Amino acid sequence: MIPWLGPRDPFPPVSTALTEPNGLLAAGGDLSPARLAEAYRQGIFPWYSEDQPLLWWSPDPRMVLFPAELRLRRSLKKRLRHHDYEIRADTRFEQVMRACAEPRHGQEGTWITEDMIEAYCTLHAQGFAHSVETWIGGELAGGLYGIALGRMFYGESMFTRAPDASKLALAHLVRQLERWGFGMIDCQMKTPHLAAFGGREIPRREFMRKLQELVNYPAPVSEWRFNDDLFD
């Protein structure tokens, strides 16, 4: 059994999350900016489908990417040097979210509901949620979005409409976060795609220890603008 959160109920300790399904912690509550910010500060994130109640998760182990451990395949390194694309930050946040919500091959429905889009757009307006966008030929070709608190970044979702477009956005994000002094990127669940970039699983206890240190740093920048020399 998991607790049902009322409007003012605090999250239970992450150590009480279920092992099956891995990390399910609580249900209910809301997607208010205050609730979401508190969730991320405690290593908790919302994830649910349109036919489910609001569910909160904190899996163990946790997939993370340390910026200094970024790995790039040779073909992507070559593409990064070509500069036949443009990386922008925070110019089309809602558009990026809606692109991430589009159905994918072999997948029914989406967990990025209208309520989620509205909630994260509010966080974007408050300066906590960010999009990283790959533009090719004047068109939005791929990108990702997530949450930044202190010097901690929480990746949420990515999409691509052209070869390598989301990979280019991710590579620039990681390199820029390293330059800004961010210590860890939360990838939530293990995927081969993120593992190929250097992501790895760590115990939840270690994740929480690093998280509590990083979220309490002051934000290194007030406005996201990426450097042009990240891959020169």
Q: Are residues 195 and 136 in the same domain?
A: yes
Q: Are residues 197 and 138 in the same domain?
A: yes
Q: Are residues 188 and 206 in the same domain?
A: yes
CA distance 219 to 150: 5
Which amino acid is it at 97? M
Q: Are residues 55 and 13 in the same domain?
A: yes
Number of domains in the chain: 2
pLDDT attached to residue 93: 98
pLDDT in tens, the chain (232 residues): 899 999 999 999 999 999 999 999 999 999 999 999 999 999 999 999 888 899 999 999 999 999 999 999 999 999 998 889 999 999 999 999 999 999 875 555 578 999 999 999 999 999 999 999 999 999 999 999 999 999 999 999 999 999 999 999 999 999 999 999 999 999 999 999 999 999 999 999 999 999 999 999 999 998 999 999 999 8
Q: Do residues 136 and 85 make contact, with C-beta atoms less than 8 angstroms apart?
A: yes
Q: Are residues 100 and 19 in the same domain?
A: no
Domain with 127, as residue range(s), is 63-214
Q: Are residues 192 and 118 in the same domain?
A: yes
Which amino acid is it at 205? R
- pTM for the complete prediction? 0.95
Q: Of 59, 86, 101, which residue constitutes the final position of a domain?
A: 59
Task: Note whether residue 228 is domain-resident.
Answer: no
pLDDT attached to residue 51: 84
pLDDT attached to residue 96: 98
Helices 93-101/114-125 angle, 10° precision:
160
**At 43, phi and psi to the nearest 5?**
75, 30
